[in-house]
Amino acid sequence: MDMRGRDYISDLDFSKEETEHVLELAWELKSKRNSGLEHALLKNKVLAMLFFFSSTRTRGSFEAGMAQLGGHAAFIEPKTTQISHGDTEMELGQIYGRYFDGIAIRHCDWGVGNKYLRDVAEASIAPVLNMQCEVYHPHQCLADLMTMMEVFNGDIKGKRVAVSWAYASSYLKPISCPQSLILQLPRFGMDVVVAHPTGFELMPEILGEARDLANKNGTGFDVVHDMEEGCANVDVVYAKSWGPLMTTADDEEGKAMQDQHSDWIANENIMAMANDDAVYMHPLPADRDIEVAKSVLEGNQSVVFQQAENRLHAQKAVMALTMG
């Protein structure tokens, strides 16, 4: 399956079969990493990593992944370049596409990020990889899917996932993570229930796509406005905060809306609503004892560190297949 030169901006840029191919390679690379076996599939290749939005796991996993594949990753902050002084998306794509073998971008500004990635991709001869924009977070979702398959021994069809909003006292977080989940999971036969307070809706076009995919694949898809209802009898509680960006992009107004729902916390009571063998997932960082109880985040049902590790392996597979 030749995927060389392919952009990965939306979760649906790769077909279900291509996504399965990525995951198969991810497990192979994970095994080699754990066994100490060399896997320099990208020897002498270089990835540009352009961050408009700060990161811990994303930068670490892409940078480590390129080194383990035998290549190099260049960390680039826009403020250290001429982007703020006139370099356009077309120029960046044309020039970096010639300098580098891949361009990875994280740009989460509302109404800006996704278009920026697509404009760079249009001009670049090298593949453009989405490290998160305001619409999609595809590499995180690959790691999530990989983790669910590991947890349930590959048998995820018919499993029910609660993609739930949770309160956070910090900034208004992007809606891209839940949006990627609701697009990807129905393709693999998983039932999805989205739970959020009124005002914290996801993009209607993404919801429409998700419902269409659920109908096509014969899976359940529900939207509710009560956390307990959303997490009842599920196999995965994926509870995290996101901003009310479809209602307002104003930080103060959004913060006031968030503060009205401080009782939306992933605690032991919420986990008790789920099935006995349910797992808790979160892409991190999490607001401890605000967004999720520490006892849940670090408890026996939590797989957040396995989930974080799988970012490394899933991303290495994407890079190897698109940049090789």
**pLDDT tens, residue by residue, 80-96:** 999 988 999 999 999 99
Banded pLDDT at 171 (limits 50, 70, 90): confident
What does the pLDDT read at residue 69? Answer: 98
Q: Can you give the pTM of this predicted structure? A: 0.97
| Residue among 146, 281, 158 nearest 220 (CA) | 158
Q: How confident is the model at residue 170 (pLDDT cuts 50, 70, 90)?
A: confident
Give the pLDDT confidence score for residue 224 in this predicted structure.
Answer: 98
| Per-residue b or e along 145-163, where b marks 16 or more CB atoms closer than 10 Å to that residue's CB | bbbbbbbbeeebeebbbbb
Mean pLDDT over 236-243 rounds to 98
User: What are the structural domains, with CATH classification, of the chain?
Assistant: 11-137+308-323 (3.40.50.1370), 140-305 (3.40.50.1370)
For residue 1, what pLDDT band results from cuts at 50, 70 and 90? confident
Q: Tell me the C-alpha distance between 315 and 7, whole Å.
A: 13
Q: Return mean pLDDT, the chain.
A: 97
> For residue range 59-78, what is the model confidence (pLDDT) as tens digits?
999 999 999 999 999 999 99
pLDDT of residue 144: 98
Q: Which two tokens stand for residue 11?
A: 């979760």
Q: What is the pLDDT of residue 198?
A: 98
Q: 274: pLDDT confidence band, cut at 50, 70 and 90?
A: very high
- For the cut 90, the answer to whether the pLDDT of residue 37 exceeds it is yes
Q: Please classify residue 94 by burial: count the beta carbons closer than 10 Å to its beta carbon, then call 0-12 exposed, 13-18 middle and 19+ buried.
A: middle
CB 152 within 8 A of CB 234: no
Mean per-residue pLDDT, 199-212: 98
State the average pLDDT over residues 202-209: 98
State how far Cα 173 lies from the chain centre: 13
pLDDT score recorded for residue 140: 98
Sorting pLDDT into bands at 50, 70 and 90, what band is 303? very high
Please state, for a pLDDT cut of 90, what percent of the chain lies above it. 97
